[in-house]
Amino acid sequence: MALGKATRIRHHIAAGDRHRRAEDYASAGADYVRALALIDRIGAWWQSPLTQLNWARAAADGRTVLGQIDLERGRPDLARHSFEEAERRYAEISYHESADVAIVLNNLGVVYERLGMLVESERALRRAVEIDRLIGRGPEDVAVGLANLALSYQAAGYLDEAGQAIEHAADLAGLKPGTIQRLAEERSFHLMTRGKFAEALVKLTEQFEAATPGSIDAAHLAGNLAQAYAELQNAEMAQRWHERAVEIRRKRQPGSLPLAIALSNLAHSLVGTGDTDEAARTLDEAITLAERIAPQGAELATMRGARAWQLLDAGDPAAALALGERALAAAPGAGRQLTALRLAIAAAYKMLDRPDVARAMLETARDVCERISPVLPELRWVHTMLGEFLLDHGAVDEAAQCFDRAIEVAETMRPGSADEPGLGLLFGTARSAYHGRIEAAWRRGTADDTVVAFHAAESFRARALAESLAQTVAAAPPGGAAAALDAELGETRRRLGALYRRIEAVPDDPLIDERDRLEERAESLRLRLRALDPRSADRDYPKPSTLTEVQHGLDETTTVAIYEVTDDGVFLFAIRRDSFAFTKLEADVADIAAAVAEVGTACHDRAGTAPADALRRLGSWLLGPIADRLGDLAVCADDVLAGLPFEALELDGVALLERSTVWSVPSATILTRFGAERRSRRPEQPFAGFAMPETPGQGPLPASLREVRRVADILGGEPPVVGTDLTVATVRSRAARARYVHFAMHGVIKDRQPLYSGFPLAGEEFLHAYEIAGFDLCADLVVCSACDTAKGESRAGEGTVGLAYALFTAGARAVLVSRWPISDPISARYMRRLYRRLAVGETAAQAVRGVALELRHTHPHPREWAALALIDLGTGRAVE
């Protein structure tokens, strides 16, 4: 009888192993359950202690395998039961410090991590590593345990400990190539958790290109690449890599939980690119697949949470609540995977006017996450939502504490010193917390809170430009692999820029396919070149200036006005050398945006009347709070205020231009940290002018030639370069030596690809913004006398990224760009007067104001006299 049962046990195990290899985990699990039932019965029949011990060990071994099968099928809740039972049975037969127990503990640690039981996960994994070392298991086993421990630390937010675990694993001698590769991938993922996304991209791209095409490993790497691009707010590249991961998993793992997870990730990226209908379809496919494979799995709960948020965005809180409540009831445990679901339910209750239940759900989410780890990444969202709820219900002090906790957690995730303020690349994920903290500070109204609010506003503004200005501008010596890659990258970018212009003129599907291929090639080359240049490693965001530092950098006549646009309203920070004011504008964001749009429409319409009423309203809203301190005014504003001519705003019937010298600055930190610096070298020539009176495919610009020649007559120096003589190489060499640089030609502005904005030159040449950024300028002012050169891509925290950013990166101190098209006669008159003023020693800010005052008397419409915007990195003072 026993021998017959033993045969049946072997049969079930063999069948289970076959099904497991075929990835039929449900059948594999059923076979092992049958085998274990027989093992438990047959083990009790034997009188021999040794035989009983063997059957007891077989029962524990079988439960370990059953747990692994459940883990592979996406059921960590079932796997937990199997592994815990296996651990208990090993303990009964005194297998306390054995390889079997180490394996079980390793698996338990992974299961606990997936269930959000991070304290238990760390405890199990640390014990597994201790046993591995104690009994002398090989480096492979120890490395696997350390890698799992690193993942547990990362999930809990303990990033330093995670990095140490990975490095300890990598230092082990005798590791197999596959293990070395896995650790390299874990290190790349760890770089992302530290906010070093660019460095992670370099590593991940190299690993993807080395992986077997179409392999599961390639799919995993594609998913990590997508996540890195998503964190960098590059939604299009994130979507491409998610699509690639889905494509591979459809071929290699059809009908699997990993495919469902990949589809869910793709749905999230589709929301980021605005394709909400396709996002809903993709997420529904993921949910249907997960329901079939793991109906009680945490992954399904996460997907249902995302679906609930889609319903909320569609304005259906009742449906979101019904789905959320069902999903919460069906989900096992109370782990971190349920956080998004709980937040969606809380939002639905709030929208349905049930605040008590909403608050209770938010506090439950907070308590669960805080118990797991005090630096759990999800705490950013939980405390931010709870803070916003408390603000809405008047609990300002509690709300401020919530926002402080959210920011505290976010700061632990950025690279660099945790005691430095600023969010760096994490601005996109914590913006609401910073804005909420500003609102709470306004409502509390204490002196300390005003400083906190300024600190929050300045922490993330223009961070990318600040990083660029902090870098060494000297070019690396050419040679070797870097030179070859640089040349290929340049050629690929030139082809890509030409393709963008062709697609814009004549959309064509084959061209779009070629564009996608070239974009990926350019990105791959850029990353490879970055890896070869040690100066290109990720740098910390330069520490934002404190309020005291900003004040010390100003003279007695200058006011810095920083406008922070939030969901709660527009806040104004007015800084002078001897005072500081913090206020919230009376008008709401929608009214301000409508008035700004009215001004923009009137100034773009050649026949439109002056938007006098809109300028008066905006003047009252934006300038009224600082009417008593309008000296020289440095304005820092973006979002709905981007492109607004502040100098045209009226206050008490008087245009700001009549009261103040006005210019724009990217941030207070840049103004005080970089604008006050002396030139690195003196210009050799007073002027470098460039004009293209004839550009194929575009209207003639006969006035451009006269414009640059007249400026050259005023300033002296070398004659301007025009027409067929105008090449990228010529512009690079001439502009590098000049104090003033002037472009008079058509400009091509790419809002979605700002690096490919620029100027068409002679023949087929085109001067792109990415090439300009690589110039070495010492110019006090660069004038872009072309249409709409102030435009570009609006990026969170950065403002408008376009030609001006490229010129600042190249070394320019100030840039004059156009807000809208300007007529040739007005442009000629403007430039002639501008350079006459510069020639007698006026600063750029003084000269721009003087010309605008002159033009306003004869051409009162701001379309004419306010078309050009000065962006200056400094305080408007001259630099020796």
Structure confidence at residue 460 (pLDDT): 67
**Of 260-264, 281-285, 642-646, 666-670, which range is least confident?**
666-670
Among residues 305, 264, 265, 304, which one has the least CA distance to residue 285? 264
Rounded to 5°, the CA angle 397-400-401 comes to: 90
Average pLDDT over residues 603-622: 92
* Gap between the Cα atoms of 830 and 848, Å rounded: 9
Structure confidence at residue 680 (pLDDT): 61
pLDDT over 70 for what percent of the chain? 87
Structure confidence at residue 287 (pLDDT): 94
Average pLDDT over residues 514-524: 80
Structure confidence at residue 521 (pLDDT): 82
Contact 631, 656 (CB under 8 A): no
**Of 143-152, 765-774, 786-795, which range is least confident?**
786-795
Which residue type does 181 have? Q
CB atoms within 10 A of CB 477: 8
- Res. 422 pLDDT band, cuts 50 70 90: very low
- Res. 115 pLDDT band, cuts 50 70 90: confident
The two three-digit tokens of residue 514, written as one number? 């070629």
**Is pLDDT at 423 greater than 70 in this prediction?**
no
Helix axes 298-313, 257-272, angle to 10 degrees: 20
* Gap between the Cα atoms of 698 and 798, Å rounded: 31
* Gap between the Cα atoms of 753 and 339, Å rounded: 36
Helix (H, G, I), strand (E, B), or coil: what is residue 373?
coil
Provide φ and ψ at 359, rounded to 5°: -65, -40
Average pLDDT over residues 758-771: 85
Structure confidence at residue 466 (pLDDT): 63
* Gap between the Cα atoms of 832 and 816, Å rounded: 14
The two three-digit tokens of residue 192, written as one number? 């992302």
* Gap between the Cα atoms of 596 and 639, Å rounded: 11
* Gap between the Cα atoms of 249 and 263, Å rounded: 10
Return mean pLDDT, the chain: 84
For the chain, give the number of residues. 880
- Of the two residues 474 and 153, the one the predictor is more confident about is 153
* Gap between the Cα atoms of 847 and 824, Å rounded: 20
pLDDT over 90 for what percent of the chain? 39
Contact 384, 433 (CB under 8 A): yes
The two three-digit tokens of residue 558, written as one number? 């200058």
**Is pLDDT at 247 greater than 90 in this prediction?**
yes
Average pLDDT over residues 601-614: 90
Structure confidence at residue 428 (pLDDT): 43
| DSSP letter for each residue of 846-858 | HHHHHHHHHHHHH
**Is pLDDT at 294 greater than 80 in this prediction?**
no
Helix (H, G, I), strand (E, B), or coil: what is residue 375?
coil
Average pLDDT over residues 127-142: 89
Chain center to CA of 568 = 22
Among residues 862, 523, 874, which one has the least CA distance to residue 673? 874
Helix (H, G, I), strand (E, B), or coil: what is residue 649?
coil
Average pLDDT over residues 687-696: 86
Structure confidence at residue 239 (pLDDT): 93
Average pLDDT over residues 90-116: 84
Structure confidence at residue 182 (pLDDT): 84
Q: What is the C-alpha R_g of the chain?
A: 32
Among residues 462, 460, 454, which one has the least CA distance to residue 437? 454
Which residue type does 729 have? A
Average pLDDT over residues 436-456: 88
Separation in Å, CA 174 to CA 138, 211, 295, 701: 9, 22, 42, 70
Structure confidence at residue 540 (pLDDT): 42
Provide φ and ψ at 175, rounded to 5°: -75, 145
* Gap between the Cα atoms of 805 and 770, Å rounded: 10
Contact 593, 614 (CB under 8 A): no
Average pLDDT over residues 267-279: 90
pTM tops 0.85, yes or no: no
- Of the two residues 199 and 855, the one the predictor is more confident about is 855
Average pLDDT over residues 32-48: 77
Quick: pLDDT tens for 530-574. Answer: 666 544 433 344 567 888 888 988 888 899 999 999 888 999 999
Separation in Å, CA 588 to CA 423, 564, 565, 594: 27, 12, 10, 10
Structure confidence at residue 763 (pLDDT): 80
* Gap between the Cα atoms of 66 and 411, Å rounded: 41
Structure confidence at residue 489 (pLDDT): 82
Structure confidence at residue 477 (pLDDT): 45
